[in-house]
C-alpha cells in the first residue's frame, strides 16, 4: 500500500514526504514542477536514504492520474498541489479556480473510481477571512475569504463536506495551516520561491543575505502590540508531523470528516520576527515601514487544543528554530 502525495516536491509536501518515508510508508509523488525543482528528490534521498516514486504530472490530467492508480495500490492521498500566491490569485482568478478546484475534483473522482477514500487536504487559515475573534478555533466562521487563493481553499472544503454527506464511507481530514516557515535541520529542503517572495520569512532571508536590498513592513498602524501584523508562524517540520498524525487518525477512524487548525497558538508581530531573526542569526535585516498591503488582516493565530486533544499533535519548535532553520537553508542553497 502506498501514500500518494500531490505537490510532493513543494515546500510543505517535501517535508511531509520525508516524515512519511521515515515513518516507513511507501510514497508516490505526483508534481508538475511548476513551483518546485526535481532536485528536491535527491535531497529527500540524502535525508532518508529512500527514493519515492515520482511522476511529473499536472493533476488536471485525469488520464495520467488514473494510470498511477492503475499501477499502484494507493491507500491514502495527501493533496498539497495548488497555486498559492495570494497576490497572483487576485490578478489571475480563473487560473487559480481552474487549477486548484479542477485539480482537486479530478483527484477525488479518480479516487472514487478506484475505491480509495482516505484523503488529507492542505487547507489554510485564510478560509477564516478576517477573524472576528482570536485565538481562532475550528468552530469559527469560515468563508469570508478576501482573495481567490483563499476562496479556492474554502470551496474545496465545501466540496469535501458535500462529498462526505453524499457518501459517509469517505474518510477525510482537512488541515488548516497557519503560517508555515523554517526548513528541515539538514538545510537540504526548504522554501525557495521563484522570483520575489510574497511571504515574510523568505523575504527576510533574502534581505539578510543581500539578495534583496530592504524589507517593506506593510503597515504599523494595526491594533496590535507594536502596530505591525500578528501571525501564528509554525515550523514546517511540525506541520509535516501533523500530517502523520492526521494519517494515523484516518487509519483509526475508517470514515468521517475531520477539521484541524495546525498552528502553535502563539502570535508574533512582523517586528518581533525581524528582531528574533537578527538575534538568532546575528545578522542585520534592513527594513522600512510602508503602507498596509491590501487584503491583509491585523491578527491571526489559532487555539491549538483540538489537534492536541484529537490528534495528540502539538507544535514542538519555537520561533528561534524557525529563524535559525530558515537562515541555514538559504545559506546552504545560495
Ligand atoms: C505575514 C505578515 C504581512 C511580507 C499568506 C496566505 C496563507 C499562506 C501564507 C500559503 C503580514 C507581513 C509580509 C512582506 C510584510 N499562504 N509582510 N512584508 O499574508 O499572513 O498568509 O501566506 O500557504 O494562506 O494567506 O503571510 O508571510 O505574506 O505575511 O510586512 O514583504 O508579514 O503584512 O502581516 P500571510 P505573509
**Tens-binned pLDDT, residue by residue, of the chain (334 aa):** 999 999 999 999 999 999 999 999 999 999 999 999 999 999 999 999 999 999 999 999 999 999 999 999 999 999 999 999 998 999 999 999 999 999 999 999 999 999 999 999 999 999 999 999 999 999 999 999 989 999 999 999 999 999 999 999 999 999 999 999 999 999 999 997 777 999 999 999 999 999 999 999 999 999 999 999 999 999 999 999 999 999 999 999 999 999 999 999 999 999 999 999 999 999 999 999 999 998 899 999 999 999 999 999 999 999 999 999 999 999 998 7
Query: Whole-angstrom Cα distance, residue 141 to residue 114?
Result: 34
Smallest CA separation from ligand 1 atom 21, residue: 179
Nearest CA to ligand 1 atom 4: 200
How far is Cα 276 from Cα 235, in angstroms, rounded to an integer?
14
DSSP reduced 3-state for 290 = strand
CA of 307 to the centre of ligand 1 (A): 23
pLDDT of residue 295: 87
Q: What phi and psi values does residue 73 have, to the nearest 5 degrees?
A: -95, 95
Active-site residue 149, yes or no?
yes
Return all residues near 279 (Cβ < 8 A) that are at least 6 apart: none
Is the shortest distance between the CB of 326 and ligand 1 below 6 Å? no
Which atom, in ligand 1's list, is nearest to the CA of 222?
34
The CA angle 155-312-299, to the nearest 5 degrees, is: 50
Q: Which atom of ligand 1 is nearest to the CA of 201?
A: 27
Task: Check if 229 has its Cβ closer than 6 Å to any atom of ligand 1.
Answer: yes
Confirm or reject: Cβ of 217 under 6 Å from ligand 1.
Answer: yes
Show Cβ contacts of residue 282 under 8 Å, excluding neighbours closer than 6 positions: none
Q: Of 11, 59, 96, 149, which one is the catalytic site residue?
A: 149
Whether pTM > 0.95 for this model: the answer is: yes
Give which of 41, 22, 27 is closest to 74, Cα–Cα.
27
> What is the pLDDT at residue 276?
98
- Residue 303 is inside which H or E element, if any? none
- Residue whose CB lies within 8 A of the most ligand 1 atoms, among 85, 154, 198, 199, for a mutation test: 199
Say what the pLDDT of residue 294 is. Answer: 87
User: Is residue 218 in contact with ligand 1, taking CB distance under 6 Å?
Assistant: yes
Which residues are 171's β-sheet partners? 118, 256
Amino acid at each position: 500500500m502506498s501514500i500518494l502525495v500531490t505537490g510532493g516536491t513543494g515546500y510543505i509536501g517535501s517535508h511531509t514526504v520525508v516524515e512519511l518515508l521515515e515513518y516507513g510508508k511507501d510514497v508516490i509523488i505526483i508534481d508538475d514542477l511548476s513551483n518546485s525543482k526535481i532536485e528536491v528528490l535527491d535531497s529527500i534521498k540524502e535525508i532518508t536514504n529512500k527514493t519515492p516514486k515520482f511522476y511529473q504530472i499536472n493533476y488536471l490530467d485525469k488520464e495520467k492520474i488514473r494510470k498511477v492508480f492503475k499501477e499502484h495500490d494507493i491507500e491514502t492521498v495527501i493533496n498539497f498541489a495548488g497555486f498559492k500566491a495570494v497576490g497572483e490569485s487576485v490578478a489571475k482568478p480563473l487560473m487559480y479556480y481552474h487549477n486548484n478546484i479542477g485539480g482537486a475534483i479530478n483527484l477525488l473522482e479518480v479516487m472514487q473510481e478506484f475505491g480509495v477514500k482516505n484523503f488529507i487536504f492542505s487547507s489554510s487559515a485564510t478560509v477564516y477571512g478576517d477573524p472576528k475573534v482570536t485565538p481562532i478555533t475550528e468552530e469559527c466562521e469560515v468563508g469570508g475569504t478576501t482573495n481567490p487563493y483563499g476562496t479556492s481553499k474554502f470551496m474545496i472544503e465545501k466540496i469535501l463536506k458535500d462529498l462526505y454527506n453524499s457518501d459517509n464511507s469517505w474518510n477525510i481530514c482537512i488541515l488548516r495551516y497557519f503560517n508555515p516557515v523554517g526548513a528541515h535541520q539538514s538545510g537540504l529542503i526548504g522554501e525557495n520561491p521563484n522570483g520575489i517572495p510574497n511571504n515574510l520569512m523568505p523575504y527576510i532571508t533574502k534581505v539578510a543575505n543581500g539578495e534583496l536590498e530592504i524589507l517593506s513592513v506593510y503597515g504599523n498602524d494595526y491594533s496590535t502590540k507594536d502596530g505591525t501584523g500578528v501571525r501564528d508562524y509554525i515550523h514546517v517540520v511540525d506541520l509535516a508531523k501533523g500530517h502523520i498524525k492526521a494519517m494515523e487518525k484516518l487509519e483509526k477512524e475508517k470514515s468521517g470528516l475531520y477539521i484541524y487548525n495546525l498552528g502553535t497558538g502563539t502570535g508574533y508581530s512582523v517586528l518581533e520576527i525581524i528582531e528574533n531573526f537578527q538575534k538568532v542569526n546575528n545578522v542585520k535585516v534592513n527594513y522600512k515601514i510602508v503602507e498596509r498591503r491590501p487584503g491583509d488582516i491585523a491578527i491571526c493565530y489559532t487555539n491549538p487544543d483540538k489537534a492536541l486533544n484529537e490528534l495528540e499533535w502539538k507544535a514542538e519548535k519555537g520561533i528561534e528554530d524557525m529563524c535559525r532553520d530558515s537562515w541555514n537553508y538559504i545559506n546552504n542553497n545560495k
